[in-house]
Amino acid sequence: MVDTPKDRQWSRLIEEQISLYDRYFYAIAYRVLRHRALAEEACQQGLMKVWSRRDRYP
């Protein structure tokens, strides 16, 4: 749930990064894993990890 100004700022930043680099991240994951569903899952897990650690960054 996005409920603070910092969370909203992080949400916008992550959305921007996804729109810019989603295909790039997926391509890397696919090259490593050689499986479409696993590559998609790896990308989702990576984004969730960034989101869950957002309080560690200014």
**Nearest CA-CA partner of 46 in 31, 32, 25, 30:** 25
**Nearest CA-CA partner of 1 in 12, 11, 14, 15:** 11
Sign of the CA dihedral with 28 first, then 34, 37, and 41 last = negative
Q: Report the C-alpha gap between 1 and 51 in whole angstroms.
A: 11
Specify the pLDDT at position 40: 96
Overall number of domains in the chain: 1
Specify the pLDDT at position 56: 84
39 pLDDT tier (thresholds 50, 70, 90): very high
- Inform me whether the pLDDT recorded for 1 exceeds 90: no
Other C-beta atoms closer than 10 Å to the C-beta of 28 total 14
Specify the pLDDT at position 27: 97
For 5-38, write each residue's pLDDT tens digit.
Answer: 888 888 888 889 888 999 999 999 999 999 999 9
What is the residue range of 51's domain? 5-56
